[in-house]
Amino acid sequence: MAETVKEVGRTIGAAAAAVMATMALFNSFLIDLVPPINRAQLLLGMVSIGATVVLLALSVLIGKRLTGIKRRRHAAASLGMLAITFIAFAAYSSYFQEYVLDYPKASGTEQIIHGELHEKGRSLAEGMTLSEAVRYYGGPGIVVPHEILWSEEATNKVITRLRAFYMLIAVLLTTSLYIVALVVVRLTAADRGH
């Protein structure tokens, strides 16, 4: 009975540590990756909760006793996820740079997500940068709602892709880090005889 209570206490402690580590990661590096969309805080919350659930499930799935083969498999899985994360981050950065306009304002810049320019928008913006075209045709308050250069549908497609990239990066990064951390914790506990 006492051993069961200790095991439950260790599991709860590991779960609390996982939740704290996930929240710390989301409140530092990953918050800067959130695309400039409406309800971004909701996206951040959903992804952080999803990542925490994945991490807690992994702590149950990864056994207490890790053989050399299991350690290598977990390390390889973690490295594979980390590699995929870097590839996804490169694609996200390129996509973000292509479809998020830093529009100059009197007090800095405003990030505007835009879709692919429609045919009329391409002809209207010919010979200008996108920022110049937005300014020339009345600014974001006119260009965006009146779909002068791009359509709302095109913008929504971009927003959907940015969300998907963000979710993929966040979950893969937290999962790969957690697998390595869990393996190290389990190995350390095995060395101490727990």
Q: Could you give the CA distance from residue 135 to residue 138 in angstroms, rounded to a whole number?
A: 5
In a domain, 71, yes or no: yes
| Cβ-contact 49, 79 below 8 angstroms | no
In a domain, 145, yes or no: no
Q: Could you give the CA distance from residue 179 to residue 185 in angstroms, rounded to a whole number?
A: 10
Coil, helix or strand for 103? strand
Range of the domain at 85: 2-96+161-192
In a domain, 102, yes or no: no
In a domain, 22, yes or no: yes
In a domain, 152, yes or no: no
In a domain, 104, yes or no: no
In a domain, 56, yes or no: yes
Could you state, in chain order, the average pLDDT of each consecutive group of 10 residues for the chain (194 residues)?
65 62 64 71 73 72 68 81 90 93 87 94 96 94 96 95 87 80 69 59
Task: Tell which residue, 95, 91, 127, has the closest CA to residue 114.
Answer: 95
Locate 33 and state its tokens.
Answer: 């990756």
DSSP string of 155-179? HHHHHHHHHHHHHHHHHHHHHHHHH
In a domain, 92, yes or no: yes
Residue 151 CA neighbour count, 13 Å, CB half:
6
How many domains, in total, are found in the chain? 1
Residue-wise pLDDT for 18-45, tens only, equals: 666 666 666 666 666 777 777 767 776 7
